[in-house]
Amino acid sequence: MQAAINITPLVDVVLVLLIIFMVMAPQMRKGPDVNLPNTTKPNSQGDERGRILVSIDDSGGLWINDQAVAAEHFDEALRAAVGAEPNPKIVIRGDAKLNFREVREVMVAIEQAGFRGVGLIAKRTGAEGK
Amino acid sequence: MQFNSNDSGSSLQSEINITPLVDVVLVLLIIFMVVVPLLMEGYDVDIPRASADKSAQVAESQLILSIGSATCPILTPPAGEGIPKNCQVTLADQKIPVAELPTRVATILGGRPPEQRALFLAVDDHLNYEAVLRIIDLAKSGVEDLKIEFVAAN
């Protein structure tokens, strides 16, 4: 007689639940709804953890790491987000509907806060994503 | 001696045990599902230095690409892929259709060492952001290791 409980179905169910939550979690994030521009061959910008995400939504609202930020406090908020990081990598997630002016103004604001170089985030044509 | 499939205990097990395989594949699947949504793609650019003296930035060897809203009237996100054909850009003071951009950039910058391949972009404020990124994408497809820097538009 087999006295041990058969744990295989339990493991199956737990694994499936784990996968479901892991897939859902990144989509549950607060933050702005940014429709990224589509291009054919964007370069890799790495993992979004470890980057400072500056988002500009389609109405021009600014967000730093999914926190809404008023334009007049952008400088302090950006410096606070960078903290003591010696070599911060800042990326801009701009909405496809924006004018270039709104993106340029944010780039200038980043430069004036003392940072050089940003990544402009795009989405590969045909790839699904947020 | 006869083979007897009912002979329990000494019969060979001929099926491959796939349980470890399934374990490994499931773990790999989970790892990729978690990592892929966090990866980003885009373009590294240098920021226009508002504080710097603009005349000092323009040197003889600098290749300047101007995109004006008069010759390249893309003010809303372009439909589908690519850039509308009616877009003309100015590369090194020459007006060219945007489709010629990769070959022109390759001709001018292809002979330079990679660390000197830089394109300076003067973009009209009214242009659509997606169109600007697509033009950058097009310019970068002409030559490898192209550095992009924005300068102020006239």
Shortest distance, CA B1 to any CA of chain A (angstroms): 33
Contact list in A for residue B75 (CB cut-off 8 A) is: 99
What contacts A82, CB < 8 A, 6 or more positions away?
A52, A88, A90, A115
Domain spans in chain A, listed from the N-terminal domain onward: 38-124
Mean pLDDT to the nearest integer, A89-100: 90
Q: How many CB atoms lie within 10 A of CB B42?
A: 25
Q: What is the mean pLDDT of chain B?
A: 79
pLDDT digits 0-9 by tens, B22-36: 888 888 888 887 777
Supply the pTM of this predicted model. 0.76
CB contact under 8 A, B126 and A110: no
Closest CA to B93 of B57, B68, B114: B68
Q: Which of A57, A93, A99 has the most B C-beta neighbours within 10 Å, making it the best mutation to test the interface with B? A: A99
**Band of residue A42 on the pLDDT scale cut at 50, 70, 90:** confident
Token match 């830089």: residue?
B118
Query: Among A23-32, A56-65, B55-64, which is the least confidently predicted range?
Result: B55-64
Residue whose C-alpha is closest to residue A104's, from A116, A94, A90, A89: A94
Confidence (pLDDT) at A127:
65
Nearest Cα residue to A39 out of A126, A129, A130, A128: A126
Distance in angstroms (rounded) separating the CA atoms of residues A118 and B46: 6
Question: Per-residue pLDDT for B129 more than 70?
Answer: yes
B55-77 pLDDT, tens per residue?
445 556 788 888 888 888 888 88
A128 pLDDT higher than 60: no
Contact with chain A for residue B56, Cβ under 8 A: no
Instruction: Find out whether B142 and B104 touch, Cβ atoms under 8 Å.
Output: yes
Q: What number is the average pLDDT over the span A117-130? A: 76
Beta carbons of B48 and B151 less than 8 angstroms apart: yes
Interface of A with B in 57-86 (CB under 8 A): none
Residues 6+ apart with CB under 8 A from B36: none
Of B75, B82, B125, the CB nearest to A104: B125
Helix axis angle, B19-35 to A8-24, nearest 10°? 10
Q: How far apart are CA A61 and CA A86, in angstroms?
A: 27
pLDDT tens digits for B77-119? Answer: 887 777 888 888 888 888 888 888 888 888 888 888 888 888 8
pLDDT for A28 beyond 80 = no
Q: B2 to chain A nearest CA, in Å?
A: 31
Pairwise CA distance, residues B93 & B154, whole Å: 13
Report pLDDT for B11.
Answer: 64
B127: number of Cβ within 10 Å: 22
Note the CATH architecture for domain A38-124: 2-Layer Sandwich (3.30)
Query: Which one of B30, B77, B137 has the shortest CB-CB distance to A41?
Result: B137
Q: How confident is the model at residue A95 (pLDDT cuts 50, 70, 90)?
A: very high
